[in-house]
């Protein structure tokens, strides 16, 4: 996987500026409420970001983690040769996907974030005051409601950490909306069994419509973990001092678990997209003296153990640097 600039430090600095003057005790209180809500698997009956302080708390505690996960996802999509000029983020809130996409795709010229909560969009705009790229600085944040999205079209459409707020009928409708508007669609969800289940539902819809999977799967057969486990990955997130105080945390980092799927519409990017990966690393590698052991999802639709020994030379050296979520060297 490529290691492009993710703008994580710039985003943390922007969030720190945006939180100045906001009561930290109130942020911590609301954060507890939001954490409990996001751990629930029930669809939301009303907007989760119900006030300005809810939006500020969400941005402070969730945006760095969402950004870290999406940066890894979009880097993997970029590694397949995808180079979008336009991004449309459905339900994008404060803009974590836009920040991640700007880091992953130097080709981007326009970014549009749609969401129903005006306070979230306003904060998203404020965070761009010192945006690290021209495309990000000129991103558009517009109010729109699911089911009544504008008829915008984009090379890349993202739907991240949104499906858990919807019932299955609404989820399916949102995915269809994304597929009608995008040449490539990326969906990311929390790396839980429930999040994985929603991603599998999206994967099934993409394949049924004749789309080509871009990741993380190296095949289009049934997921080999479907009946025994769940496919998810992790991104390391650095916590700022404010982040630690708001969450009542001590460690200077956390690991954000996520599940994802990406697909390209029929006939799209055929000349640009590279061949499928030789396999996807689906657990933390075990590194021992003279060998690296992986759990891998393979191109033949199976999953299991792969070992790269020191005798493999250059492949072994690459294996020592490989991480959970990367392609198999």
The domain made up of 8-264 is a member of CATH 3.40.50.2020: no
**DSSP per position, 47-77:** -S--SHHHHHHHHHHHHHHHHHHHHHHHHHH
Q: Strand ranges (DSSP E) for 172-274?
A: 182-190, 212-215, 233-238, 253-264
- pLDDT at residue 66 tops 60: yes
DSSP class of residue 327 equals: B
Question: At 22, is the secondary structure helix, strand, or coil?
Answer: coil
- CA gap 70, 211 in Å, rounded: 21
Q: What is the mean pLDDT of residues 7-28?
A: 83
- Beta-carbon contacts of 228 under 8 Å, excluding residues fewer than 6 positions away, are none
Give the C-alpha separation, 197 to 9, whole Å. 32
pLDDT band at 269 (very low <50, low <70, confident <90, very high): low
In this model, does residue 241 exceed pLDDT 70? no
**Does residue 50 register a pLDDT over 80?**
no
Cis preceding-peptide flag for 226 (omega within 30 of 0): no
pLDDT in tens, 248-262: 656 566 789 999 999
Q: Name the residue ranges covered by the structural domains of the chain.
A: 8-264, 279-321
Global pTM value: 0.90
pLDDT of residue 222: 96
**CA–CA separation, 329 and 281 (whole Å):** 9
The bridge status of strand 253-264 relative to strand 233-238 is antiparallel
pLDDT at residue 240, rounded to an integer: 61
Cis amide linkage into residue 328, ω under 30° from 0 = no
Range from 13-17, 41-45, 157-161, 207-211 carrying the lowest mean pLDDT:
41-45
| Whole-angstrom distance, CA of residue 302 vs CA of residue 224 | 6
Kindly tell me if the per-residue pLDDT of 73 is higher than 60: yes
- Interval 97-148: pLDDT, tens: 999 999 999 999 999 999 999 999 999 999 999 899 999 999 999 999 988 9
What pLDDT was estimated at residue 39?
66
């Amino acid at each position: 996987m490529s290691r492009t600039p993710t703008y994580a430090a710039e985003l943390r600095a922007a969030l720190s500026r945006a939180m100045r003057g906001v009561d930290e005790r109130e942020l911590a209180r609301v954060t507890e409420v939001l954490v409990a809500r996001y751990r629930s698997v029930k669809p939301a009956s009303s907007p989760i970001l119900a006030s300005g302080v809810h939006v500020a708390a969400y941005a402070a505690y969730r945006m760095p983690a969402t950004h870290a996960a999406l940066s890894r996802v979009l880097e993997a999509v970029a590694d397949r040769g995808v180079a979008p000029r336009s991004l449309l983020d459905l339900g994008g809130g404060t803009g974590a996907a836009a920040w991640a996409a700007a880091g992953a795709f130097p080709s981007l010229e326009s970014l549009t974030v749609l969401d129903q909560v005006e306070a979230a969009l306003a904060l998203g705009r404020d965070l761009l005051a010192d945006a690290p790229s021209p495309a990000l600085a000129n991103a558009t944040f517009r109010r729109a409601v699911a089911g009544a999205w504008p008829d915008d079209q984009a090379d890349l459409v993202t739907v991240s950490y949104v499906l858990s707020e919807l019932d299955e009928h609404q989820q399916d409708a949102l995915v269809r909306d994304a597929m009608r508007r995008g040449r490539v669609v990326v969906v990311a969800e929390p790396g839980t069994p429930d999040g994985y289940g929603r991603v599998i539902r999206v994967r099934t819809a993409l394949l049924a419509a004749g789309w080509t999977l871009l990741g993380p799967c190296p095949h289009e057969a049934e997921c080999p973990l479907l009946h025994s486990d769940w496919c998810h990955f992790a991104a390391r997130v650095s916590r700022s001092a404010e982040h630690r105080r708001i969450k009542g945390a001590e460690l200077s980092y956390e690991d954000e678990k996520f599940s994802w799927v990406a697909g390209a519409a029929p006939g799209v990017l055929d000349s640009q997209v590279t061949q499928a990966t030789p396999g996807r690393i689906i657990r933390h590698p075990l590194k021992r003296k003279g060998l690296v052991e992986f759990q891998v999802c393979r191109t033949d639709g199976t999953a299991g153990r792969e070992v790269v020994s020191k005798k493999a030379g250059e492949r072994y050296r690459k294996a020592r640097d490989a991480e959970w979520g990367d392609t198999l060297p």
